[in-house]
Structure 1
Amino acid sequence: MTARRELVLGTVGAVLVCLGAFGVGDPPRNHRLLTDLGLSWLTYGHGKTLCAILFWAGVAAMVFAWVRLGRLVHAPESGVSVASLQRWVLAWAAPLTLTVPVYSRDVYAYLAQGAVFGAGFDPYADGPAHHPGPLLDSMAQVWATTSAPYGPMFVGMIRAVTEVTGDHVILGVLVMRLVLLPGLFLSLWAVPRLAKHFGASPQAGLWLLLFNPMVLIHLVAGPHVELLMIGVLLAGLTLLVTGRHLSGLAVLGLAVSIKITAGVAIPFAVWIWLSHIRSRRPVTARDVVGVFAAVIGVTVAVFGAWTLIVGLGLGWLTGLGYADVIINWFTAPTLAAHLVTLVAAPFVALNLQPVLEVTRTIGSGLLAVILVTLWWRHRHDERDAVAGIAWAMLAVLILEPSTLPWYYTWALGIAVAFTLPGWARATIVGASTFLLIVFQPDDAIAFYQPGALLLAGALSLLAGWSLLHPDPLRLGRFGRWAWHGAGDPSRQPVPTST
């Protein structure tokens, strides 16, 4: 079996996304590059329509190729090598490093926060509004007066970027992508090793996380700090499960220093290390105390070192609270608030905000209980502990005040360690496709537009269903060729060698 057609199609799709984003993405505000190049027509009228066609055709091609590739890598005798897939991930990602930011203006916020730090302010206390200029103009203005929620290592990195690029927005975006790209390379290194360690398919792991169009478009074209955080997190976890405990913990400490969410994995490191000791001899009380001390000591030391280097203290705690500004019904507390106001509407007019405060408080309390319960229940061995990390990340996504598409890489990255059943893979395909549609490339959302939601739901169901069923639209012979084609394992000769 060969996946060349699928891999080439995905690359072509990435190129189309790259080109189309210049008209429908999130370009810098008040910047004259397109005007100076005579390309301003791409951002309005027929030019913008053409770009929209290119962009969505590219997204469709990437999803289509991803689904077909998924059928291939899960075939019993897949001849697709890990090395080949690793190279093709870079081919899919390459065009996305050169395009206009899409789906979010967060990269401009990173740069604006770095510029504020470089100008002598404290990004953990002072918002980007303290440093007016093109970076501030280009970011989402809702964050202009809020402080940075990121760990000290990442705050130091964005300051270093703006020290080099200054207020040059386009150069800043390109350099920011270069700074985040090591996360992709770390993921390429860690995913096959983590999957193989637990008996899962390395090819399937690469397919699940790194060929996922939602992940690539949001994290690389976005771009987002999750690209770096998930790579460092997976690298640390890989070192940890393969017995390099201290180095693994140090790398996990780096992940927390990038974004505090990575800290969800730290408590489970205790069970992983103890399970390794248990595989050699009985665990003693001294072992338990020593492992607890090492896990806490190493990660706190790494985080503390970066805190001292950057010199800003623990102000990032303040920034975490600003996530409440984001309101969409994709988390359980926000959905519950919407339902409460909707059900109560015939009887009493309830303002959404006070209801949100109640449901989010309940959600936070429930999340704390669930995280502690998951940590204790998944203590039996290293496989159980890693599964606990995945469930814990998913619980955070469901119960935190707000969730955005790129946050789902937290759970997807851990899931590569396991052989997922078909229904789970189909669900991930459908959910990823849905998130690519209801969130728009110009940072708009269609969560409250019934027509757009129905279309997104239908296309998502089609994508998920087609992963498991050839010819999902029942188009006969043509449908089987289009959706399955060379990717139908039942129609391929079994290779005699790889």
Structure 2
Amino acid sequence: MNDMATTIDPAPDVPAAGAPVEAHPVEAHDPPFPVRTTLMGTIGSVLLLLGALGAGGILIRDPIIGTGPLSWVRYGHGHILANGVLYAGFGLVVWAWVRLGRYMLAGRIGSRAILIASGCWMAPLLIAPPLFTRDVFSYLGQGAQLLHGLNPYTHGPAELEILPNVVQNVHPVWQTTPAPYGPLFLLVAKGVVALTGDNVIAGVIVTRLVLLLGLGAMVWALPRLVRHLGGKLPITLWLAVASPMTVIHLFGGPHNDAMMLGFLCTGVLAVLERKHVLSIVLVTVAMLIKPTAAIALPFLVWIWCNHLPGDNRVRNFLKAGLASSAIFGVVFVLGTWVSLGSFNLGWVTGLKAPQLVTNWLNPATGVGQVIYTLVHFVINVPESPFVTVARLLSWLALAVFFVRQWWKSRYGGNEAIFRLAMTLLAAAILAPPTLPWYLTWGFVIASAFPWRRRHLAIVVGVSILLVMAYYPTGEQALYDWWFVVLTLVLGVYAAASLLRPDPLGLIAAWRKQTVPDFVSSPPTPAKR
């Protein structure tokens, strides 16, 4: 496991990976609570809510604002103002998250404060229009198809003649494309539409409430994963729960990755606790929600194999592999049948649909576009061959990476979980398309390992880029180069702020006038 330290490594005061439970004693007292920081993030979320009414994923026909006296927030100067309010809210949420991280690193707050702050930041977004995406409208459209007997894996929502409010809000790119999601998630979306009908606003809110179950399972599993994987719980919760990637993308979006992660985290926990059958069941269910969770299954086989008694590794591997395959087959067939009413594998072909998205956030696509641009200066050629070849090479690189990581996991234990997480991250980056919220797949698992402070700072900068990679409306912003440069500058400043408060001295003048952030006695100075 020597190469683990190159990415995630214990700080001087963090136990090594695999440390026993006793290495992480329960806090004997409750640390002071950061009221002002929590309030700052909550105000930011309220501003996100208000700004999204004019600049977020708004409805084509809004029954609340519509053409009424507030409709001005969606046009001209009103729309500019709404964007300003929304980005101001995002800035406050990020600022509060960074402040919370500094308190956490200094040992001034514990996991309880981080969870409460996260809940406060998510609460206003429950009723907000979709933020930085319109995917939830696709969920509802595909659920409506299944509800009314139209196969989402062979037809696009545009072919559904009823529920016009649901259908017309699906993004034009996905109106005629098959669903790329697992059948169990479409069953969930079907249930949401059965409850809310053609009321899209209610559909979005109910979808968020359902996805909260996945976030809840993730929050339940993370403390137990930390005990196995050697991390520190406050750091893990700050990374995986309080992050803008979770608060804004997974919940504010919302995205069904939150539900998949709930089953994935509990499945990984189950295999570490030697509940092997339950682990395969849970991760197979995660795959039936979001197919990429299937990447985790071969790694779980190695862990099961190493838990079996005896020294015959080949026999143990065959036992674990055959048992895992049988369990997977039963759950896969049953889950598909229950969801679709038949054993229909048409959803596998739907996985091609997201590849319609092209942007440089996927490195292969970016390389293909750069080469095309250079060649296009000399000769008039189409872009698609360059992107296609680059993506093919990226797929091959991912396959090699996957096999290598899987083989290196053959001794099981924490190393297998680490390599599982890295492979999920690699899939999000190398397999087209790379959408910002995809990076949560492996990142949430990786958050339970030990982290170095400078790596936490990198996470801050990357998180800001991944949220702002799309405009609040859900359209990508990656080719607005001035906007990208501004985002990078802000990301670097925020990353530096985690390790050193106010690195440029921009708010030093306010410092003497601010009130203490904590409700108890004044906190001790942060450790450097």
Name the TM tier (shorter chain): over 0.9
2:207 & 2:439 partners in 1: Cα distance? 21
Residue 119 (structure 2) pairs with residue 93 (structure 1): no
Are 2:469 and 2:477, in contact at CA under 8 Å, matched by a contact in 1? yes
How far apart are residue 481 of structure 1 and its match? 7.2
2:177 & 2:512 partners in 1: Cα distance? 52
Are 2:305 and 2:313, in contact at CA under 8 Å, matched by a contact in 1? no
Residue 247 (structure 2) pairs with residue 235 (structure 1): no
Letter in 2 for 1:321: K
1:174 & 1:330 partners in 2: Cα distance? 29
Are 2:179 and 2:353, in contact at CA under 8 Å, matched by a contact in 1? no
1:69 & 1:147 partners in 2: Cα distance? 42
How far apart are residue 436 of structure 1 and its match? 2.1
Residue 112 (structure 2) pairs with residue 83 (structure 1): yes
Alignment correspondent of 1:124:
153
Alignment correspondent of 2:76:
45
Are 1:471 and 1:479, in contact at CA under 8 Å, matched by a contact in 2? no
Residues 373 and 33 (structure 1), Cα distance of their counterparts in 2 relative to 1, 3 Å cut:
same
Residues 307 and 19 (structure 1), Cα distance of their counterparts in 2 relative to 1, 3 Å cut:
same
How far apart are residue 251 of structure 1 and its match? 1.0
How far apart are residue 284 of structure 1 and its match? 4.4
SS at match of 1:33: coil
- Structure 1 window deviating more from structure 2 (144-153 vs 163-172): it is 163-172
1:174-203 Cα deviation digits (max 9, x unpaired)? 222222110111111111221222221111
Higher share of residues assigned helix: 1
Q: Superposition RMSD on alpha carbons, in Å?
A: 2.3
1:477 & 1:317 partners in 2: Cα distance? 55
Letter in 2 for 1:165: T
Are 1:236 and 1:252, in contact at CA under 8 Å, matched by a contact in 2? yes
- Structure 1 window deviating more from structure 2 (474-483 vs 432-441): it is 474-483
1:475 & 1:448 partners in 2: Cα distance? 29
Alignment correspondent of 1:421:
452
Q: TM-score, normalised by structure 1?
A: 0.92
Residues 36 and 344 (structure 1), Cα distance of their counterparts in 2 relative to 1, 3 Å cut:
closer
Letter in 1 for 2:272: V
How far apart are residue 72 of structure 1 and its match? 1.8
Query: Could you tell me which of 365, 368, 372 is aligned with 2:399?
Result: 368
Alignment correspondent of 1:295:
324
- Structure 1 window deviating more from structure 2 (108-117 vs 308-317): it is 308-317
2:420 & 2:482 partners in 1: Cα distance? 36
Are 1:253 and 1:300, in contact at CA under 8 Å, matched by a contact in 2? no
2:240 & 2:202 partners in 1: Cα distance? 28
Letter in 2 for 1:128: P
Alignment correspondent of 1:455:
486
Are 2:391 and 2:431, in contact at CA under 8 Å, matched by a contact in 1? yes
1:418 & 1:486 partners in 2: Cα distance? 29
How far apart are residue 335 of structure 1 and its match? 1.0
Alignment correspondent of 2:47:
16
Alignment correspondent of 2:183:
152
1:355 & 1:138 partners in 2: Cα distance? 33
SS at match of 1:181: helix
2:415 & 2:55 partners in 1: Cα distance? 44
2:154 & 2:105 partners in 1: Cα distance? 49
1:334 & 1:141 partners in 2: Cα distance? 22
1:321 & 1:37 partners in 2: Cα distance? 41
- Structure 1 window deviating more from structure 2 (114-123 vs 27-36): it is 27-36
Query: Could you tell me which of 172, 186, 191 is aligned with 1:141?
Result: 172
1:482 & 1:194 partners in 2: Cα distance? 42
How far apart are residue 85 of structure 1 and its match? 2.7
1:112-169 Cα deviation digits (max 9, x unpaired)? 1111112211111111111141212111011111111111111111112212222221
Unaligned ranges ≥5, structure 1: none
Query: Could you tell me which of 206, 212, 219 is aligned with 1:188?
Result: 219
Are 2:34 and 2:113, in contact at CA under 8 Å, matched by a contact in 1? no
Query: Could you tell me which of 163, 167, 185 is aligned with 2:198?
Result: 167
Alignment correspondent of 2:9:
none
- Structure 1 window deviating more from structure 2 (176-185 vs 295-304): it is 295-304
1:327-359 Cα deviation digits (max 9, x unpaired)? 100112101111111222332223111211111
Residue 353 (structure 2) pairs with residue 322 (structure 1): yes
Letter in 2 for 1:59: F
Are 1:6 and 1:68, in contact at CA under 8 Å, matched by a contact in 2? yes
2:211 & 2:306 partners in 1: Cα distance? 33
1:372-427 Cα deviation digits (max 9, x unpaired)? 11111132332101111111012112211211111111122111121111222111
Letter in 2 for 1:286: R
Letter in 2 for 1:60: G
Are 2:429 and 2:439, in contact at CA under 8 Å, matched by a contact in 1? no
Residues 182 and 30 (structure 1), Cα distance of their counterparts in 2 relative to 1, 3 Å cut:
same
Residue 404 (structure 2) pairs with residue 404 (structure 1): no
Query: Could you tell me which of 294, 297, 306 is aligned with 2:335?
Result: 306
Letter in 1 for 2:112: A
1:245-298 Cα deviation digits (max 9, x unpaired)? 2212211111011010111111110122233347xx645443222111222222
Query: Could you tell me which of 342, 360, 365 is aligned with 1:334?
Result: 365
Are 1:193 and 1:202, in contact at CA under 8 Å, matched by a contact in 2? no
Are 1:277 and 1:283, in contact at CA under 8 Å, matched by a contact in 2? no
How far apart are residue 476 of structure 1 and its match? 8.3
1:91-113 Cα deviation digits (max 9, x unpaired)? 21111111011211111111111
SS at match of 2:264: helix
How far apart are residue 441 of structure 1 and its match? 0.3
Are 2:114 and 2:234, in contact at CA under 8 Å, matched by a contact in 1? yes
Aligned residues with identical type, % of pairs: 36
The equivalences for 1:467-482 within 5 A come to: 467-475=498-506, 477-478=508-509
- Structure 1 window deviating more from structure 2 (469-478 vs 116-125): it is 469-478
Q: TM-score, normalised by structure 2?
A: 0.87
Alignment correspondent of 1:464:
495
Query: Could you tell me which of 252, 269, 288 is aligned with 1:257?
Result: 288
Unaligned ranges ≥5, structure 2: 1-31
Are 1:274 and 1:283, in contact at CA under 8 Å, matched by a contact in 2? no
SS at match of 1:109: helix
- Structure 1 window deviating more from structure 2 (367-376 vs 437-446): it is 437-446
1:51 & 1:134 partners in 2: Cα distance? 24
Alignment correspondent of 1:102:
131
1:301-333 Cα deviation digits (max 9, x unpaired)? 212111111235111111111122101001121
1:247 & 1:476 partners in 2: Cα distance? 52
Residues 351 and 12 (structure 1), Cα distance of their counterparts in 2 relative to 1, 3 Å cut:
same
Alignment correspondent of 1:387:
418
Are 2:306 and 2:316, in contact at CA under 8 Å, matched by a contact in 1? no
SS at match of 1:454: helix
Alignment correspondent of 2:245:
214
1:417 & 1:267 partners in 2: Cα distance? 20
